[in-house]
Amino acid sequence: MKFQTIKLEELFEIPTKNGLTRPSRDRGIGFKMVNMGELFANDIIRDIPMELVEMNPTEQKNFNLQNEDLLFARQSIVAEGAGKCSIVDNVKELTTFESHLIRVRLNKKICNPWFYFYYFASPLSPMKSIIMQGVQAGIKASDLKDLDVIFPSLEDQNKVSYFFRNIDELIFNNSQSVLQLNQIIESLYREWFINFKFPNHEQVEFVDGIPEGWLNTPLKQVMSTNPSTLKKGELDEILYVDISSVGQGKIESFTQYHIDDAPGRAKRKVQHGDVIWSCVRPNRKQYALIQNPQTNLIVSTGFTVLRSTKIPFTYLTALAASDDFCGYLTSVAQGAAYPAVTYKDFEDYELLLPPKSLLDKFHEVVEPMYEQIHILQTQNQKLQDLKETLLPRLMSGEIDVSKLSSIE
């Protein structure tokens, strides 16, 4: 089934609008404003922290955002970012948008804005046809309105939107649960090992502010770095993790390679409980805990692999996730353009080591939390894979929209 097409402008409720221009000195009080940062970080822009700007009554009327407005990036350093589309959802107070963004408000009587949000996120999006490449890639509102877009029936649009919104809601809820679990772990680590408010701390003697029995030690005394390297001929196929594939506490993607085609940096072997930490630009805090990996998972030599030897991996993970650890690595990094650390910098980190009984108690409490985080992140990856598989097939008409109920 092939859908008919229509000019995007024919779906508008009001004409497109470029956002407000506000210099940095005029920001800090007033109304929330969506910047490029929020757009690129959030496909769905919810009620999140933003910069504040003042607006007069006319600007409040002309530059406001409503739920289900579409926002497009006018410019980007790379072509892939130009025309990036996000949708506004659950905005609870007057919010505006900056000049590098284009607001599109669609007529909900004839179309579903969520359907077009998903359409512009799909490989079938016609956005590439209007991107101009210069010092920065960009689009014009005048070209955006003239785009030919598919136009299924409103009933079909609603079915597609409902299906993918359910997926996104599950992903969002799982992500919120992961965030909360990480916050609990971080709070426990800080309370027990930084503030010394661990269980039964009242019964422990303190010497010069330090609990009795806690010892200063370099990290290398309780863990090893880069303990295992892939040998030639050991594997035919690998799942590879590069630095760009890792965020804060999470592996976001894997790339499958035949070993002959794999990057030269695909060398580090990992196992359950290892922590990988990016050696480049440590201020970005790119790290992840490895949990139940496939046997052919290999990470880049751009990471240092930390493997516990005398402490629980849960404690090592919480330590590696701490701001103190990130701050230390940032302070010892060498190089101007690409500051980097070496495995030795990780080994030389000085920690105040608690007694084994307390470490075991911490492990008992937080290991189930890390397991739940892994389950939720795995679910999210499967949901994202499902979305990426079905989205182009539904938008192209390859899958009949009426069959969505059976897919659900």
Residue 6: its H or E element: strand 5-7
Q: Is the pLDDT of residue 295 over 90?
A: yes
pLDDT of residue 292: 95
The model's pLDDT over 206-234, given as tens digits with 9 standing for 90+, comes to 999 999 999 999 999 999 999 999 998 99
**Residues sharing a CB contact under 8 Å with residue 45, sequence separation 6 or more, in sequence order:** 34, 38, 39, 71, 86, 87, 88, 89, 91
- What tokens does 343 get? 């495995």
Residues above pLDDT 70, as percent of the chain: 98
Give the DSSP per-residue string, 293-313. --TTEEEETTEEEEEESSS-H
In order of their start, the domains of the chain are: 5-151 (3.90.220.20), 176-381 (3.90.220.20)
pLDDT of residue 136: 79
Measure the CA–CA gap between 350 and 88, rounded to whole angstroms.
Answer: 46
Q: Is the pLDDT of residue 330 over 70?
A: yes
Q: How far is CA 374 from the centre of its chain?
A: 15
Q: Which range (77-91, 94-108, 330-344, 358-372) has the least confidence?
A: 77-91
Which three-class secondary structure state does DSSP give residue 221? helix
pLDDT of residue 326: 97
Which of 48, 120, 36 lies closest to 73 in space, CA to CA?
Answer: 36
Q: For residue 341, give the DSSP letter.
A: -
Q: Is the pLDDT of residue 80 over 80?
A: no
What is the model's pTM? 0.88
pLDDT of residue 361: 98
CB 362 within 8 A of CB 188: yes
Average pLDDT, the chain: 94
Mean pLDDT of 120-125: 95
Q: Which range (20-34, 292-306, 369-383) has the least confidence?
A: 20-34
pLDDT of residue 141: 94
Q: Is the pLDDT of residue 115 over 90?
A: yes
The residue to which tokens 């290991």 are assigned? 367
* Position 32 confidence tier, pLDDT thresholds 50, 70, 90: very high
pLDDT of residue 77: 75
For the chain, how are helix, strand and coil distributed in percent, rounded to 5? 40, 25, 35
CB 307 within 8 A of CB 269: no
Give the DSSP per-residue string, 31-55. EEEE-HHHHHH-SEE-S---EEE--
pLDDT of residue 1: 62
Distances (CA, A) of 192 to 202, 209, 235, 314, 351: 12, 14, 42, 14, 14
Mean pLDDT of 282-304: 96
Q: Is the pLDDT of residue 393 over 60?
A: yes
- What tokens does 295 get? 């046997």
Q: Is the pLDDT of residue 258 over 60?
A: yes
Give the DSSP per-residue string, 232-257. TTS-SEEEEE-GGGB-BS-B---EEE
Q: Is the pLDDT of residue 152 over 90?
A: yes
Mean pLDDT of 343-368: 97
Rounded to the nearest 10°, the torsion over CA 101, 106, 111, 113 is 40
pLDDT of residue 95: 96
CB atoms within 10 A of CB 316: 23
Q: Is the pLDDT of residue 358 over 90?
A: yes
Q: Is the pLDDT of residue 121 over 70?
A: yes
pLDDT of residue 27: 85
Radius of gyration over alpha carbons of the chain, in Å? 25
